[in-house]
Amino acid sequence: MPPTDVYFHGDPAKDTLSARGFMKRMRNQMRAYNIDDEAVMIKAAEDSFGDDSLAEKWFTALPAADPARFTLAALETALMRRFPDAAKAEKPKAQLVSEVARMRITMEELAKKTVTVRDKEVYAHEEFADRVLRMADEAEIKTSTVGTWDFCAELPRVLREAASENATWEALVQEIKQVPLVKLRSAVTEYKAQRKLEKEMEGLVAAMKKTSMGGAQGAAPQTTTTTQQTAPATQPRNATQPRNNAQPNANTQAASPEDLRRLMDETVRCMATDTPDGRTRYQEQVTRWHQNNADNARLDRVGYPLTPGTAPPCSGECYSCGKVGHRGAACSVPVEARIPDKERHFRGICGSRLGLVNAQRGGNTAAVNAVGAVPWYEQAGEQDFGAGPAQ
């Protein structure tokens, strides 16, 4: 009997191998020792079940005529059925899909330039891209676009700009990997300079606060962006959000489908008409949006004004021009006449998370539950749009 260091207990807490992995090792060992007698192989497998383990008890309890007692192939089938791969069983596909969509890379990570993978230096963005592809493969969405919008929306800009609309995960990963190093380097340099500036600003504000004890103007420069913020997040802002403190709620969690649905309905309701007056109003909406929101504000929380004359989101519209009848790749509208990037993203998020709910539009316009970020149309200034041109 060949010595074996392979054991199987049928208990994920004790096992380092799955049932399948265990059987593979068994076969390898049998081959290494030139054993092809099924009875000997079965005996070896039996002796590799841990003492008093679930696996041993299971095997002992098998009927005398059970095929699993006679051939390694039958044993493998029965063992895998009785002890399915715990890691796989615990992670349903939907969970894997949402894990892929939530994968992130930060500018800090990009700034590191390379990471070590199995003793080899790999560029950080390439390693990230490979990891995403492996996950997408495991979730069986490699050739689909499920979740790509949310994923792209959270990419650092230098990578996001390289991603094309409606790309599958497979294509997306290629696009990320192909971002030229020169571009990455200059984005990182820019980011570092920006960080330095922010730090200096923070120091300056702190110093101002110290010198003007009790002076209300001390904290002024960064905190007056909105007047209607709901209560700040529970944790102290500085501890959890070192950057972008202009919009304390911008990075709250993803909106629930219900919240997103309400946000979309309200956004459609507030859409300006395609008339000279309507277009003026639309310009005001956009201006106000940018006054009230940081550039990284969550679009699934705050939304974005819709271009007059376009179709509602989730109507199967083209994300480039907002019209129905064709999709992104077939869009013939010239680049300068396309809808703003943020509207495009907002439409993408609605479309990918809610589906074609507006293909035949009903009319559900409940008020939006403003948890976290405040929807654009409820923010300072938007109420008085009826009062006439602002300038």
Task: Catalog residues that contact Zn ion under the rule CB under 5 A.
Answer: 318, 320-321, 331, 333
Amino acid at position 367, single letter: A
Place of tokens 């943020």: 342
- The nearest distance, CB 167 to Zn ion, in angstroms, is 17
Nearer CB in complex with Zn ion: 50/340? 340
Picking from 322, 314, 318, the residue whose alpha carbon sits closest to that of residue 351 is 314
Picking from 300, 313, 303, 310, the residue whose alpha carbon sits closest to that of residue 279 is 310
CA distance 344 to 149: 10
CA distance 273 to 299: 22
Nearer CB in complex with Zn ion: 86/333? 333
Which run of H or E residues covers position 258?
Answer: helix 257-269
- The nearest distance, CB 230 to Zn ion, in angstroms, is 36
For 117, the 3-state DSSP assignment is: strand
Residues 6+ apart with CB under 8 A from 375: 263, 266, 267, 301, 302, 303, 368
- The nearest distance, CB 316 to Zn ion, in angstroms, is 12
Picking from 103, 129, 102, 101, the residue whose alpha carbon sits closest to that of residue 115 is 129
Cβ-contact 288, 387 below 8 angstroms? no
- The nearest distance, CB 318 to Zn ion, in angstroms, is 3
Nearer CB in complex with Zn ion: 318/350? 318
Amino acid at position 124, single letter: A
Nearer CB in complex with Zn ion: 187/318? 318
Nearer CB in complex with Zn ion: 187/311? 311
Nearer CB in complex with Zn ion: 313/381? 313
Picking from 198, 354, 325, 327, the residue whose alpha carbon sits closest to that of residue 263 is 354
- The nearest distance, CB 86 to Zn ion, in angstroms, is 47
- The nearest distance, CB 327 to Zn ion, in angstroms, is 8
236 phi-psi bin (left φ>0, alpha ψ -120 to 50, beta other): beta
Nearer CB in complex with Zn ion: 110/321? 321
> Could you tell me the two tokens for 134?
């492996």
**Other CB atoms within 10 A of residue 216 CB:** 7
- The nearest distance, CB 307 to Zn ion, in angstroms, is 12
How many residues are there in the chain? 391
Nearer CB in complex with Zn ion: 292/320? 320
- The nearest distance, CB 324 to Zn ion, in angstroms, is 9
